[in-house]
Amino acid sequence: MLYYDILIIGGGPAGLAAAIEAKKNGVDKILVIERDRELGGILQQCIHNGFGLHIFKEELTGPEYAERFIKELQEFKIEYKLDTMVLDIREDRVVSAINTVDGFMSIKAGAIILAMGCRERTRGAINIAGTRPAGVFTAGTAQRFINMEGYMVGKKVVVLGSGDIGLIMARRMTLEGAEVLAVAELMPFSGGLTRNIVQCLEDFDIPLLLSHTVTEIRGKDRVEGVVIAKVDENRKPIPGTEKYFECDTLLLSVGLIPENEISKSGGIILDPVTSGPIVNEGMETNIEGIFACGNVVHVHDLVDFVTEESRRAGKNAARYIKKEVKNYGSMAKTKAGTGISYIVPQMIRGENIDRTLDLFMRVDDVYTDINMVITIDGKEIKRMKKRHLAPGEMEAIKIKKEDLIASESSVITVSLEKEGA
Amino acid sequence: MQGKEMICIVCPLGCRMKVSKNEGGYDIAGNKCLRGEDYGIKELTNPTRILTTTVKIKNGLLSRIPVKTKEPIPKSKIFQCMKVINSVEVEAPISVGDVVIKDICGTGIDIVVSRSMEESIN
């Protein structure tokens, strides 16, 4: 059996940052396992710019952002295996993996970091009626075909879902000569960043149909068209509002799900809201010595936040290896109050926090001029005025260690309160 | 001169603004800060964008390599630039930042590759 101090599953932005940070914190025997043909993950197909404003203070493209970390990983001589698939993990931290060079491997690890990222929701996940012709792609699949493999996926396109990938692909298809007829969005607001609505849709006069959805796909061998209908406040299509769009391609940008099949095999408990592992302040899951970071924990909108979170996972996995973790008793919990849909981390051991506790969260609706209030066991410790909050933009807040007067059974709640309430 | 309606993208607030020219300056309405004013005037007079796309590559791991304009180019020249970029082909090995096209369409801006790719024998 092979042995590594830290084994990292996934060589995307999360895995890369975690590996480098673990190395910087004094762990030498590290292995990164990646199933694709190269490191970098989905960043390699995200050729647009806008990455790195927080971490590098400049605007990079996805591949540029990835390359900085890949280079650092190689300079540190951290070992990695490409084209390698992890089959399962066990609670005693034995990982089974396979590739065509080494064959089947059993690897025992001192600590494991899960960094598998997320997967797109497909047509099957949202049950669109109609025939099953070619020409229905998730936006990310189309992105990989166009940007990496050099295949154009269609000429006349409708996009369902206005998440960032959908918006970016609407622009990308237009630049490469396709006609994008419309972007339909089920919700009354877009889940994408304002910057993308302006620069991907408005710049190219692509209509954004809010409160609309695709109710039918038509075509036998190839998509011939889709039916789009207006939806009511319960997101149900309104009869009589159907409109037919002749097109050969439908792109789906209808959400991402953390990819946790192998986490489940290791007995890791998932949060039903995030679909990712429940973690503590050090990004450790319910299984001692198994950590998780990046989109496998919760879907981020900025890679910079993935990097930050993954550095924390790498550092804490190194601490665990060096037996520097304090307090393995019970923990304080975080709780999503009014207006908040989830908070990561879910569990807190105050003694292990360096200077600040970082909480990541999403709100459940669009809010303007509202207060974000943090309480510990009902006692207010922080209040922040927010001019604009939207579910598409993750909120990150820092709580100073001094303010964190929490006992082991404390509940740290974040909620939204109207101005003057 | 007719005003232009736009959404400011300087911060996540996304103010809806109306920008128009008057004698000697500009009228801007709807913005909540000064940065919005600068953005509005720029969008009205000379909107620019970073253009990112791909070019063909020979002997690389992949058949396409991502490229970008080193600096923003005028928005009106995007499709003209795409035509020129789509006509070139590069060869691996190539390093991030290498210039593929100098001074694209008279903008004074270079097209550079945005990743490195080693030679790969297939």
Q: What is the mean pLDDT of each run of 10 residues along chain A (421 residues)?
A: 97 98 97 98 96 92 98 98 97 96 97 97 90 96 97 97 95 98 95 88 96 97 98 96 98 95 95 96 95 97 94 97 78 93 93 87 92 92 90 88 76 89 56
CATH code for the domain defined by B52-113: 3.10.530.10
Tell which of A147, A169, A393 to mutate to test the B interface (max B CBs under 10 Å).
A147
A368 to chain B: closest CA residue: B13
Instruction: Give me the pLDDT at residue A330, please.
Output: 58
- Where are the domains positioned within chain A? 1-120+256-325, 122-254, 330-421
CB–CB contact B12 A194 (8 Å): yes
Specify whether the CB–CB gap between A8 and A110 falls below 8 A: no
pLDDT for A415 equals 96
Q: Tell me, what amino acid is at B101?
A: I
Q: What is the rounded average pLDDT of the residues B74-84?
A: 97
DSSP assignment letter at A43: G
Q: Is CATH 2.60.40.10 the right assignment for the domain spanning A330-421? A: yes
* Predicted local distance difference test score (pLDDT) of residue A329: 58
- What residues contact B29, with CB distance under 8 A and at least 6 apart? B17, B18, B19
Q: Please give the average per-residue pLDDT across B49-54, as a whole number.
A: 96
Establish how many alpha carbons lie within 13 A of residue A288's alpha carbon, considering only the half-sphere containing its beta carbon: 9
Q: Domain segments of chain B: what residues?
A: 4-45, 52-113
| Alpha helices (runs of H) in A155-272, residue ranges in sequence order | 164-175, 194-196, 261-265
Output the CA angle A318-A359-A59, nearest 5 degrees: 85
AA identity, residue A81 = K
* Banded model confidence at residue B16, pLDDT cuts 50, 70, 90: confident
**B-proximal residues of A, 172-231, CB under 8 Å:** 175-176, 193-195, 197-199, 202-203
Tell me the C-alpha distance between A154 and A328, whole Å: 55
CA distances from B6 to A353, A393, B79 (A): 44, 21, 22
Q: Which of A47, A169, A198 is nearest to B47 (CA)?
A: A198
Distances from the Cα of A419 to the Cα of A370, A371, A383, angstroms: 5, 6, 11
Cα distances (angstroms) measured from residue A149 to each of A136, A365, B65, B67 = 18, 38, 9, 15
Average pLDDT, chain B: 92
**Contact assessment for residue A334 and residue A345, using Cβ atoms and an 8 Å cutoff:** yes
**Extended beta strands in A43-84, E state:** 49-51, 60-61, 79-81
Q: Do B116 and A202 touch (CB under 8 A)?
A: no
Coil/strand/helix, residue A300: coil
Please give the pLDDT value at position A319. Answer: 95
Which chain B positions have a beta carbon within 8 Å of A59's beta carbon?
Answer: 50
CA distance A13 to A300: 12
Strand order in the sheet with B64-69: B89-91, B52-58, B64-69, B111-113, B99-101
A378-397 residues touching B, CB cutoff 8 A: 387-388, 390, 393
User: What's the confidence (pLDDT) of residue A326?
Assistant: 75
| pLDDT computed for residue B122 by the predictor | 59
Helices of type H across A127-163? 139-144
Q: Considering the entire predicted model, what is its pTM?
A: 0.93
Question: Is A53 in the B-facing interface, judged by CB distances under 8 Å?
Answer: no
Evaluate whether A1-120+256-325 and A122-254 have a shared fold. Answer: yes
- Inspect the interface and report whether the beta carbons of B114 and A194 lie closer than 8 Å: no
Inter-chain residue contact A194 with B9, CB threshold 8 Å? yes
Q: Give the homologous superfamily in CATH for domain A1-120+256-325.
A: FAD/NAD(P)-binding domain (3.50.50.60)
User: How far is the first Cα of chain B from the last one, in angstroms, to the nearest whole number?
Assistant: 59
**Interface probe, candidates B39, B64, B83, B113, chain A, greatest A C-beta count within 10 A:** B64
Q: Say if the Cβ atoms of B54 and A59 lie within 8 Å.
A: no
Q: How far is A198 from chain B, CA to nearest CA, in Å?
A: 7
Contact flag B52-A199 (C-beta cutoff 8 Å): no
Q: Give the model's pLDDT for residue A403.
A: 81
Q: How far is B27 from chain A (nearest CA, A)?
A: 21
Q: CB-CB: which of B53, B56, B96 is closest to A175?
A: B53
Please report, for residues A95, A102, A266, B26, the alpha-carbon distance to residue A286 in angstroms, rounded to integers and kept in the order given.
Answer: 17, 31, 10, 59
Question: What pairs with residue A130 in β-bridges?
Answer: A217
Give the residue with greater pLDDT, B18 vs A184. A184
For residue A146, the tally of other CB atoms under 10 A from its CB is 23
> Rounded to whole angstroms, what are the CA distances from A247 to A122, A133, A135, A353?
19, 12, 9, 54
Instruction: Provide the pLDDT for residue A229.
Output: 98
| Whole-number CA gyration radius for chain B | 19
Q: What is the pLDDT of residues A109-150, one digit of tens each?
A: 999 999 999 999 999 888 898 899 999 999 999 999 999 999
Q: Is A347 on the interface with B (CB under 8 A)?
A: no
Percent of the residues in chain A that have a pLDDT greater than 70, as a whole number? 98
Q: What is the pLDDT of residue B2?
A: 67
**Cβ distance of A150 and B64 shorter than 8 Å:** yes
State the virtual CA torsion across A234, A237, A243, A244 in degrees, nearest 10: 120
CATH code for the structural domain at A122-254: 3.50.50.60
From the CA of B105, how many Å to the nearest CA of chain A? 16
User: A41: distance to nearest CA of chain B, Å?
Assistant: 14
Is A103 touching B (CB cutoff 8 A)?
A: no
Q: Per residue, what are the HEC states of chain B?
A: CCCEEEECCCCCCCCEEEEEEECCEEEEECCCCHHHHHHHHHHHHCCEECCEEEEEEECECCCEEEEEECCCEEHHHHHHHHHHHCCCEEECCECCCCEEECCHHHCCCCEEECCCECECCC
- The pLDDT score that the predictor gives to residue B92 is 96
